[in-house]
A and B are shown apart, each in its own frame.
Chain A
Amino acid sequence: MDVQVSFTLNGKMVSAAAGSATLLVDLLRNRFGLTGTHVGCDTSQCGACVVHVDGASVKSCTMLAAQIDGCAVDTIEGLSGNGELHPLQQAFHEHHALQCGFCTPGMIMSAADLLKRNPRPSELEVRDWLEGNMCRCTGYHNIVKAVRAAAGVMGEEGS
């Protein structure tokens, strides 16, 4: 069966018909062309598919498209504004926090949720928070540095 869903996607109201077994990540990628959200493991372990639903980070491979009716969904494509990189994106760039880049959108969306809840996380808190995001290239070190650097920048801007 198809389920009709209406939701806010990166700030804009959208509607779509989705199969009842369609995953949120597949709706975002295939129906809306937002391919920044990746499918890595498809078993809710790797975190490449992390998006925000009503402001909270979730694994979009483990949510049905049908469940987001009436919700606000934010993806990596909605993070930067006015052609400027988000402080997390800028920090990942400056600290070489990626190599192949496959995990990066999920890392950044997950870290953005952390910084909303905890604007000045310790190194341990960043590492603990990123438990659900796997990177097979960097060894995490530069990712942690980038998240803490972004926290500093975002703190200075008072955001």
Chain B
Amino acid sequence: MREFDYYRAGSVRDAAKRLAASGNAMLLAGGMTLLPALKMRLNEPSELIDLGGIDELKGVKLSRKGAHIGATTTHVEVAGNVELRAAIPVISQAAESIGDPQVRNRGTLGGSVANNDPAADYPAVALGLGATIITNKRKISADSFFVGLFETALGTGEMVTEVLFPLPQRAGYAKFPNPATRYALVGVCVAQFKSGVRVAVTGAGPSVYRLEDFEEALEGDFSSDALDGLSVSAANLNDDMHASAEYRAHLVGVMARRAVAMALD
């Protein structure tokens, strides 16, 4: 790694001020993606602002609006929260499917959504549930937040502080993990609300996205049979050494059916 300055922030205000003041600083949460990226010199920040000491960014709270999860809450804390598992089990199931135990002990929700890896699990759950990403400046709907490959709507000096997941009637997340990394080759989150059904796909395209024709079919009949006859085009899907675009297109249908079955279970 190239040298950088290290700063341990004491509060969200402190971190945001520091971030805004420096042209090339980056935020460090769990570091599970950032530190490997620094080793490969994919990023060369002048300073890392460590959020690890900020208590106000940690924790899970339930309210009538849904589940409020602080940005630096780790995957293991999310997976182990009993009230959350009872209220919105799909979040817990996605959290416990990430990486391996050591990654789950360090990696954070905020880090995952802010990074927007095209194969990450949390973006699918956030988009599938129609979550609200709360920053130090504003509230952003998941539909507007995930912009493209490793790209989000976050602006300069802006940081994720919390994600609010609304309470679905039922939901499921199924993924076909890459056997080496446990990232999703394809992962699909399906969620049913009074207002309609949402289907979000990760791993298949350059960024997480919604599948409108699946949503319409499931709104008419929330069962995996409702997806019969629907096919997914391989055009513009990821194509690499791990899976072809055609195979990923096939997996989208398979994982969507599994996610519906999990939601109905």
Contact = CB atoms under 8 A, between A and B. Distances in A.
A139 interface: no
A131 B35 contact: no
Given A110-B102, A131-B100, A62 B35 contact: yes
A44 B181 CA distance: 10
B3 A21 contact: yes
A64 B39 contact: no
B48 A20 contact: yes
B50 A66 contact: yes
Contact of B50 (A45, A67, A129, A131): A67
B8 A57 contact: no
A64 B105 contact: no
Contacts of B82: none
A30 interface: no
A67 B58 CA distance: 16
A90 to B, nearest CB: 23
DSSP class of A's interface residues: helix, strand, loop or mixed? mixed
Contacts of A56: 76, 105
Interface residues of A, number: 28
Interface in B36-58: 36, 38-39, 48, 50, 52
Interface of B: 1-6, 8, 28, 31-32, 35-36, 38-39, 48, 50, 52, 76, 99-103, 105-106, 180-182
Given A3-B6, A20-B3, A21-B3, A57 B36 contact: no
Interface of A: 1, 3, 19-21, 42-45, 47, 50, 56-59, 62-64, 66-67, 69, 110, 113-114, 129, 131-133
A1 B8 CA distance: 13
A24 B3 CA distance: 15
Contacts of A129: 101
B4 A57 contact: no
Contacts of B101: 57, 110, 113-114, 129, 131-132
B111 to A, nearest CB: 12
Contacts of B35: 44, 62-64
9 contacts: A1-B5, A20-B5, A42-B39, A44-B32, A58-B102, A59-B103, A129-B101, A131-B101, A132-B99
Contacts of A64: 6, 28, 31, 35, 48
A19 B103 contact: no
B74 to A, nearest CB: 9
Contacts of A19: 3
A57 B3 contact: no
B2 to A, nearest CB: 7
B196 to A, nearest CB: 35
